Amino acid sequence: MKLDKIEMEHRVENFIMQCRELRIKVTPQRIAIYKELSSTGEHPSAEIIYKKIKKYYPNISLTTIYRTLETFEKLGIISVANILHDAARYDANLNPHHHLVCVVCKRVEDFYDDSLSNLTIPEESLDNYKVLGYSIQLNGICKECQKKKS
């Protein structure tokens, strides 16, 4: 899901306002990292973001990418989705949504379903937990991987 230019500009403007409200520096590198993450619905890892950012910021380090993503997550600007249990994947979409995960190529896609977003969870199932939120993950094989198998 690539965003059009106007939507991307709107997201970046909101990101800059949020950073200023949270009193964190707005640097070109931070903007580039946020742009790279928010321009896709693919939930990239830090390494994937690094490879893309490195093309136009050759001196940026992988450590900087990790630290920046960690800062964004702590401040609530992005979320971390440990969907595949092998590496953290990052998501700039903070709206309630769920995930479709291809178990072959590891692709992750967002999906929305109001009936799943409004589940009533029985209190006795929670034991002593205070639920802060939830996301449903559906594992399967994406269309491209199904074609490759045929």
pLDDT digits (tens, 9 = 90+) for 96-142: 888 888 888 888 888 888 888 888 877 777 778 887 778 888 888 99
> Who wins on pLDDT, 34 or 102?
34
pLDDT in the model for residue 83: 63
Asked if 79 and 96 touch (Cβ cutoff 8 Å), the reply is no
Q: CA-CA distance, 5 to 97, in Å (whole number)?
A: 23
Q: Can you list the domains of the chain with their CATH numbers?
A: 5-91 (1.10.10.10), 98-149 (3.30.1490)
pLDDT score recorded for residue 3: 63
pLDDT at 31: 95
- In this prediction, residue 121 carries a pLDDT of 79
Of 23 and 108, which is predicted with more confidence? 23
DSSP symbol at 3:
P
Look up the pTM and report it.
0.74
Name the band, by pLDDT with cuts 50, 70 and 90, for residue 82: low
| Interatomic CA distance for residues 34 and 16, integer angstroms | 10
At 90, list the tokens: 């990052």
Residues 73-82 have a mean pLDDT of: 86
pLDDT of residue 117: 82
- pLDDT of amino acid 68: 96
Strand blocks (E) in 51-133? 79-81, 89-91, 98-102, 108-111
Name the more confident of 18 and 150: 18
